[in-house]
Amino acid sequence: MNVEKKPKIGLIGIMQELYDDMLPGITEKQANYAKEVVKQLSDVADIVFTAPARVRDDIEKQVKTFNDSDVDGIMIAMLTYSPGMRLVRAFQENHLPILLANIQPEPTVTDKWDMGDLTYNQGVHGAQDNANALLRAGVNFTVLTDDWRSQTFKSAFLDWAKAAQTVTKLRKMKVAIFGQMPGMGDITVDSSAFMRKIGPQIIHESMGSIYSIFEKVSKKEIDNLIEKQKKYFQIDPKLKREDHEYAARFEIAIKKFLETNGYEAFSIYFQAVANDGRFRQLPMMAASDLMAEGYGYGAEGDACAATLVAASHTLIGDAHFTEMYAMDFKRNSILMSHMGEGNWKVARKDRPVKLIDRPLGIGGLENPPTVLFSAQPGTGTIASLVALEGERFRLVVSKGDVLDTEEMPHVEMPYFHFKPETGVRSALNGWLKNGGTHHECFNIGDQTKRWDLLCEMLGIEYVEV
């Protein structure tokens, strides 16, 4: 579902006509420099550059063109000095994320430089004027200062571009909610404020919408899915074929509903399934498989968590839904798990991912086939989207390590030990003090920079504990 694609970024190279008489050919020379920057970044992003913006009208036309197209963000680069007031009106009317790339053609000043070299490389001169103008106009932007040929510049640019791409995705996203657990306070959110600030539209749906599709799923579709699963799951011999087929039918129906209606994230409350009266199982296998395909998921009607997982698929990749189950003071860690949903793409590589016959009394239904695994040991990041009040949101983030622990034979759902970098005591004090919710998104690796950039673009609080 979620085919990874490169971010698409518009480049506005700003200069002015002042230097044409002094340095004939300067426009072409600086345009070629901009094209070299595009080439340098071409393996991480598709960058659109047409021509240098030399007057205010050029800037306004290019910004409007980018806003009317399918780009994810705008990068501004100074090709020479250009007065800051020329871009104010254009960027007041812009709705795309902005990066001010403080770069210049040459990385080093030498004793061979003349007035021409000073003019070609005076980017920081204009960057100050333009940054000041944007700031005073109330325009949100990110700044990146580096040698454009360096790997550090490319890496930082990619982080920003993925965050910009995620903002674009969030603004188009729809989240399907099938019921919500009564009284669960930290999942409640004002859906109108959520759409205005974060982007997605939250839509409440009924299980009947899925059941109408469920009835029409063919045996061939079911058999194809099971054969596919045999390639990446170790299937429990105790799992009855009829129970596996039922879970597959449920998964196919959910996926078809999401595809048909343009949803990129969903949440199904277990009691909504049970109360419908027509389903025999909870869709544990479906939740795990669909997360692995790139859908966002949150349990118990949690639109914030479902959105965060969907956003993370674009921002980082292979997002996993989980929650904190128990503290382990001996390991200085937290046992992470949930009822049976998890993205098996984050599973450790030295153990099989299992599909088990799993007794589960919740909902009063039959055993739901459940994907079982533990996460890959190494650095990891967990994040929680907190709805505070109105349009005030906060992202609480913790970086740490997934521990290499022995299997827990009696735990029949995805699990792993997460050891926060700041220690379990300090991290959880900070988590609770800042309202971190009990549903989280997990990613392999240190992803704090990208989460921070996304918060900066969305204008929400970022707290690391």
pTM for the model: 0.95
Chosen CATH of 8-171 out of 3.40.50.1100, 3.40.50.20, 3.40.50.10940, 3.40.1280.10 = 3.40.50.10940
Residue 79 contacts by C-beta under 8 Å, 6 or more apart in sequence? 13, 14, 15, 30, 31, 33, 34, 52, 123
Whether 43 has a pLDDT exceeding 60, the answer reads yes
Whether 53 has a pLDDT exceeding 80, the answer reads yes
Q: Which two tokens mark 33?
A: 């420099």
* pLDDT for residue 1: 64
For the four alpha carbons of 35, 39, 41 and 44, in that order, the dihedral sign comes to positive
Per-residue model confidence as pLDDT tens digits over 298-356: 999 999 999 999 999 999 999 999 999 999 999 999 999 999 999 999 999 999 999 99
* pLDDT for residue 21: 80
* Stretch 432-449: mean pLDDT: 98
Residue 318: closest CA among 276, 381, 236, 378? 381
* pLDDT for residue 18: 83
* Stretch 27-33: mean pLDDT: 94
Helices 151-172, 26-41: axis angle to 10 degrees equals 80
* pLDDT for residue 156: 98
Q: Which two tokens mark 459?
A: 């204008």
Dihedral of the alpha carbons of 180, 186, 191, 192, in degrees to the nearest 10:
160
* Stretch 84-106: mean pLDDT: 96
* Stretch 375-381: mean pLDDT: 98
**How big, in percent rounded to 5, are the helix, strand and coil portions of the chain?**
40, 20, 35
As a whole-number percent, the residues of the chain with pLDDT over 70 amount to 99
* Stretch 394-409: mean pLDDT: 97
Regarding predicted confidence, which is higher, 153 or 361? 153
**Coil, helix or strand at residue 53:** strand
Whether 25 has a pLDDT exceeding 60, the answer reads yes
* Stretch 252-275: mean pLDDT: 97
As a whole-number percent, the residues of the chain with pLDDT over 90 amount to 94
**Coil, helix or strand at residue 109:** coil
What does the DSSP 8-state code read for residue 347? B
Per-residue model confidence as pLDDT tens digits over 149-196: 999 999 999 999 999 999 999 999 999 999 999 999 999 999 999 999
**Can you list the positions of beta strands (E) in 208-332?**
234-235, 265-268, 296-297, 320-328
* Stretch 424-441: mean pLDDT: 98
Q: Please state, in angstroms and rounded to a whole number, the distance separating the CA atoms of residues 51 and 225.
A: 50
* Per-domain residue ranges of the chain: 8-171, 173-464
Per-residue model confidence as pLDDT tens digits over 132-141: 999 999 999 9
* Stretch 241-260: mean pLDDT: 98
Output the CA angle 374-378-383, nearest 5 degrees: 80
Render the burial of 338-363: b for 16+ CB within 10 Å, e for the rest. bbbbbbbbbbbeeeebbbbbbebeeb
- The residues with which 53 forms a beta bridge, in sequence order, are 14
Residue 325: closest CA among 411, 433, 426? 411
* pLDDT for residue 362: 86
Instruction: Provide the CB-side half-sphere exposure for 144 (13 A, CA).
Output: 22
Topology at the third CATH level for domain 173-464: L-fucose Isomerase; Chain A, domain 3 (3.20.14)
